Amino acid sequence: MFVLLFLYALVSLSGHAQSSTLNTTRTHGRKTITAVRTELPVTLDGNLDEPAWQQARVSLGFVQKDPQEGEPSTERTEFRVLYTATTLYIGVVCYDSNAGGILATERRRDDSLRNDDTLSIVLDTFHDHRNAFLFRTNPLGTQYDALITDEGRDINENWDEQWDVASQINPAGWMAEFAIPFKSLRVSEDDVQNWGLDLERVIRRKNEFSYWNSFQRGFDLENVSQAGHLEGLEEIETGLRLRIKPYLLGGFVNERPIPGTTDPSRSKTRNTSDAGIEVLKYRITPSLTADVTWNTDFAQTEVDDQQVNLDRFPLFFPEKREFFLEGAGVYEFGTVLGEGSRAILKLFHSRQIGLSPKRQPVPILAGGRITGKFQGLTLGLLNVQTEALLSEGIPASNYGVLRVKRDVLSRSTVGGFLINREKAGSSDFNRVYGVDANFVFFQHLTIGGLLAKSSSPGVKDDNLVSASSVIWDSDLLVLETSWLAVDREFRDDVGFIPRKNIHHIAPGITFLPRPNSRLIRQWRFSLRSDYTMNQNNELETRLNHHTIEIRFQNGDNWAFNPHSRLERLEEPFEIRPGVVILPGTYSWWYPGMRFSGNPARRLSGGASWQWHRGFFGGELHNFRINPRLRLTEQLSVETGYDLNKARFPAGTYSDVEGNFPDQDGTFTDHVVNARINYNFNNQWLTSTTIQYNSADSFLGFNFRLNYIFRPGDDFFLVYNEGRRALFEDIGNVERRVTGVFDGQKDRSLQVKLTYSFDY
């Protein structure tokens, strides 16, 4: 029935799509600006008063996407473009009739700046209508940059390059000057170049979004196929051919082992001082770059958020290490998403390289990659050699990834990939190879799919993965259906594969009307069903998701989410120590509500609640709050608190020995992820993270000082401390703490300096 509804709606929309395609096509390249070459000096101070700026053409006419699509922006915005042989300059004037209402609160590099007034620029340097560089700032001159791949299918926020911006607020509004060296971009080798260009201005107090070129709903700034044009760039110099960025590391780690393994009173301190090459970057051509790393260190990487597992499948943790994040969009393939963009399968997940299953660092001896465009292809080649981690029995290994992709039609791609892992001192290996494609029609219709096969010793059959999806995604209507099949013997050592032996189908429909209201900006009515069966087509999991959401004009969101779930277990699993969920079929429903406030407020954030009645035969309450308090432009506090309170009546669960306790099984989880940010200015940044996870008996503290002494080079001071409580079993589920965090302890203090040499 759902598939028939999907096909009927798709056919009925096709006529509308063909007529509206003309309108969206006209959006692409609707505006053009010509960059002016100058030999006059430009002082980067956030003031466009130099004679050079008087040579440049002024472009204006920003148009709203929200709240009134197609209407002129309520505040005037104008910009100019200059360039020299080595640098692109963009100067923007944001007039504001209420300069006192301009919001500027954040100084952290690479913060999304969603709490502030912002200016964003996208540059499609190859003019391929797919990939771009994103630069963003606020009235404090805070920098945010990202790499956009395939029109936002992957947005790499951890890409950092050398560029600069200066902003200032004045009685008429605020201004920003961007200086982007050509050597920080990847460009074609043509003497005369035309790029894609668009600008976005956000007036946060009004929750208003306006654009220079692409203003139509259903498209985001990252959809660079809808951008305008930048012309007039001639004989530019990319400059950089070789960058060597070594690092020096000093510090120590003090560890006290888990009680019972060795004498817990004896702690060990070891020196962690080291040196290596953070990255050696060689530009083979202006569009193809080679990167090499040696004796790689990730001391400055942010800690993972604490999570609690309430299911029998492993948790997903995102990649946060800089070397693997730069250029990650090229290697983004074979990912299947569930509700809320949650990864339910990922054929290549770089966290499997250099991190153990217990999230401990595995030493990386060296690594290299080549990424960019070559002979009309998008190319990615990655190779990493790791050392052994004897404490977890992980052998030294070599990892290799090859990714090739070609652009076809106007916004579509086809490609292939190969993933390889070789274990040292063993004949064991694992390879995954396959093909994928993504086609876009009628501007909003996307059809994609992949087919992959694994190869390992002793396995020849039943080792395939296949996936496909059809999505109509517009501002008014989202129709989707997807399919995923994972065979029993499929093996992927470098991927995230939580479930095998499955067939998974997920149809869904979302209706997003916009009423003519001063209070409500948009409604969202959504229905989605996820069916997971084994290869014998026996139902194992069914999730029905229902959502009613209100997006208010003031930036607040409220949603009611009644869900239902069915789980068929063939094997028991221990959800908490002493609480074993028994095999059987469980079915329950759970209502939920969530609220998020306008981030422009001094106190923002949100809260959510779910009540699972019948959760694996018991009951579960989940409550989450994540307030953000902005005290000053230097100081803010962000807190995430999760409470899980569960009860299983006697007879519905067992202990690990298979006995049935005569009392209810209960557990209460408290998870805290709190961060205090204090920034002296845009160069001196600090963050303090406090974490608590009662399920793992973990308390953690992390302090991170980052001094950006020049673009691309940093000084870090990082202090970490983690402790685990020591418990004594007193029967069944209840446990008593015998010492307040008197178990495993570890602390470290590390200082790291990077310094780049460009040639």
Does the residue 79 lie in any domain?
A: yes
DSSP state, 232?
A: E
Q: Which of 455, 456, 526, 530 is nearest to 499 (CA)?
A: 530
Average pLDDT, the chain: 87
262-266, 552-556, 563-567, 583-587, range with the lowest pLDDT = 262-266
pLDDT at 19: 32
Over 50: is that where the pLDDT of 261 sits?
Answer: no
Q: Scan for tokens 């008197």, then name that residue.
A: 742
Range of the domain at 171: 31-234
Share of the chain above pLDDT 90, in %: 59
pTM: 0.83
Over 60: is that where the pLDDT of 262 sits?
Answer: no
CATH number at residue 104: 2.60.40.1190
DSSP state, 461?
A: S
DSSP string, 237-291: ----SEEEEEEEEEEEEEEEPPBTTB-TT--EEEE--EEEEEEEEEEEETTEEEE
Does the residue 163 lie in any domain?
A: yes
**What length does the chain have?**
759
Strands of the sheet containing 579-581, edge to edge, are: 573-576, 579-581, 653-654
d(CA 490, CA 501): 9
Tokens of 623: 């409550």
Counted domains in the chain = 1
Q: Per residue in 572-618, pLDDT tens? A: 999 998 899 999 999 999 999 999 998 888 899 999 999 999 999 99
Does the residue 72 lie in any domain?
A: yes
Q: Scan for tokens 């466009």, then name that residue.
A: 48
Over 60: is that where the pLDDT of 21 sits?
Answer: no
Q: Per residue in 743-753, pLDDT tens? A: 567 889 999 99
Q: Per residue in 192-210, pLDDT tens? A: 899 999 999 999 999 999 9
Q: Quick one: how many helices (H) and strands (E) in the chain?
A: 3, 52
Q: Per residue in 264-321, pLDDT tens? A: 456 788 888 999 998 898 988 878 889 999 998 887 888 889 999 999 998 888 888 8
The CA distances from residue 433 to 405, 499, 500, in Å, are 14, 19, 17
Does the residue 493 lie in any domain?
A: no
Does the residue 320 lie in any domain?
A: no
d(CA 578, CA 575): 8
Does the residue 489 lie in any domain?
A: no
Does the residue 160 lie in any domain?
A: yes
Q: Per residue in 94-140, pLDDT tens? A: 999 999 999 998 888 888 888 899 999 999 998 988 889 999 999 99
- Characterize 184-209 residue by residue with b for buried, 16 or more Cβ atoms within 10 angstroms of its Cβ, and e for exposed: bbbbbeeeebbbbbbbbbbbbbbbbb
Does the residue 153 lie in any domain?
A: yes
pLDDT at 725: 65
